[in-house]
Amino acid sequence: MEALVDRLRRLIDDCWDSFSAKVGGELISINKEASMQLQFAYILKYAVDLIIHHQDESVEIELETGIPTNGRMRECDIVIYITKGTRKAYLPIEMKCYKEYAASGGKRGATDIFFKDVYVDLELLESYAKNENYIQGIQLVMTDFERIPFPEVRIGKYWDYDISDAKSITDGIHLTTPIGGKDVDVKLQGSYEFKWITSGTYYFLKLENKES
């Protein structure tokens, strides 16, 4: 099972690189998170057979899957079901997309909520991993707003939720700064490195607990 999971993680890296290049090269148009989810899942679905090396191996992809966590069901963007003989594992993927301008042409705003939600998704991924057969998942983030990964200044309380390039978290963090007039309580236990890549006019980030 471990070898199959390793092959899958490498494949996700390759598919994310391909997705990023295609979006940056304007072969794929992404308007919001839903289209990001569908386009990435499409690339992954048609590449996954490359990592199936034995008859007792299978990998299946499901979108919008309910996962129990902290006494409630949360909907995960993508869950990958991995089977090796009688063993099973589930790898969740959460996604976030922020575009500077809405489809109407106006400035989207709510950047502070986007920052916070990246941390909320990391917390969810850590909680999913506490369920039986679930393994540490992956977060994929994209934006066309350059000042998110590469800010000129850091002004505003939402920078407590810094996701800019070269940001790092070691052995967790606890964040309680209110956002949008609402209380926040986000606790991470893992370690993360924020390394954005640029493709065309877009910026892409893959986050994974380094302790997994």
Task: Tell me how far apart the alpha carbons of residues 84 and 99 are, in angstroms, rounded to a whole number.
Answer: 39
pLDDT of 100 above 90: no
Q: State the pLDDT at residue 103.
A: 67
State how far the Cα of 69 lies from the Cα of 81, in Å rounded to an integer: 18
Q: Per-residue pLDDT tens for 128-184? A: 999 999 999 999 999 999 999 999 888 778 889 999 999 999 999 999 999 988 999
pLDDT at 212 > cutoff 60? no
pLDDT (0 to 100) of residue 140: 98
Strands 202-208 and 197-199: antiparallel
Residues 6+ apart with CB under 8 A from 69: 124, 127, 128, 130, 131
Which pLDDT belongs to residue 33?
93
Q: What is the pLDDT of residue 79?
A: 98
As a whole number of angstroms, the distance between CA 22 and CA 10 comes to: 18
Mean pLDDT for 62-69 is: 95
Phi, psi angle pair for 89, to nearest 5°: -150, 150
- Bridge pairing between strands 72-84 and 138-143: unpaired
**% of the chain exceeding 90 in pLDDT:** 86
Torsion angle, CA of 137/138/139/140, rounded to 10 degrees? -150
pLDDT at 104: 67
Cα separation, 29 vs 16, in Å, equals 15
68 backbone dihedrals φ, ψ, rounded to 5°:
-75, 135
Span 6-38, pLDDT tens digits:
999 999 999 999 999 999 999 999 988 999 999
Q: Are 203 and 131 in contact (CB under 8 A)?
A: no
- The residues, ordered by sequence, that sit 6+ positions from 97 with a Cβ below 8 Å of its Cβ are 30, 32, 33, 36, 141, 142, 143
